[in-house]
A and B are shown apart, each in its own frame.
Chain A
């Protein structure tokens, strides 16, 4: 399986990639914001799961997902959002944009592993 991790924080990308590696996944692409995420996708064709932050410069996670959902080839690509934004309105906005799975920071490593595994199987 191939993953795309989109986060402006290199620390968060590293934490996410370490978790994916522990779960046995080595094929992970990285991007620092939504615009770079779109570029990576157009370079490689597609991935099996996108893990994205919300608050990022240039293109936020929400705008990134809206852009994906408007593209024929990425309309149904599974997306896990990793963010501190967890007010009721945030979750409604994320679901409307097309997020499939949601994990709220901060999280324990076990919760994160469970979320990633759930996102891969559904």
Chain B
């Protein structure tokens, strides 16, 4: 299940960037935890619930987020100011929403939340309780950006099937 989820998440992320940001991203192999962020960054999160439950999040440096927002809105990155949080929310929404749609045949249609966006410095996210986190890194214009799948359903902890930790 996890491998399939990650394949779908990778595919929809590529599609969102090609069609809505007009910049392709290259997928790197999945890994276990987000590397510690240094400097200003953004994180968008959306929770889902149904046959599985968890969170899909999108993380990027502030600089990459400006380029992404600019691509979506047809603006130069330097012009992007107040538009940034909403654009990050909408990228997260399109990734999580397409993921939900593509998984619906297998998993039934989950309900998903509206996006939450955090902008700050040296951001990291901790989850309370048993969760399984997998990160899909991508290269966007020479910089890494991250889509993370967090499964909070305690009956499915796909990491238990795995022997070795995978560093990001």
Residues of A within 8 A of B (CB): 8-12, 14-15, 18, 55-57, 83-90, 104-108
Contacts and interface: CB of A to CB of B under 8 A. Distances in A.
A96 to B, nearest CB: 15
Contact of B90 (A12, A57, A86): A12
B74 A85 contact: no
A106 B19 contact: yes
Contact of B109 (A10, A83, A87, A107): A87
Interface in B47-79: 69, 72-74
B16 A104 contact: no
Contacts of B98: 84, 105-106
B114 interface: yes
20 contacts: A9-B90, A9-B93, A11-B69, A11-B73, A11-B83, A11-B90, A12-B90, A14-B73, A55-B93, A84-B93, A84-B96, A85-B97, A85-B109, A87-B101, A87-B105, A87-B109, A104-B101, A106-B19, A106-B94, A106-B98
Given A11-B87, A55-B93, A87-B109, 9 more contacts: A8-B114, A9-B89, A11-B69, A12-B90, A15-B20, A85-B100, A87-B100, A104-B101, A105-B20
A88 B104 CA distance: 8
Contacts, number: 68
Contacts of A57: 114
B85 to A, nearest CB: 9
Q: Which of A18, A56, A57, A84 has the most CB of B within 10 A?
A: A84
B86 A11 contact: yes
Contacts of A12: 90
A105 B72 contact: no
B153 interface: no
B95 to A, nearest CB: 9
B112 interface: yes
A110 B122 CA distance: 39
Q: Tell me the dominant secondary structure on chain A's binding face.
A: loop
B32 interface: no
Contacts of B94: 84, 105-106
Contacts of B86: 9-11
Contact of B101 (A11, A15, A85): A85
B112 A55 contact: yes
Nearest to B98: A84
Contacts of B101: 84-87, 90, 104
Contacts of B112: 55
Contacts of A55: 93, 97, 112, 114
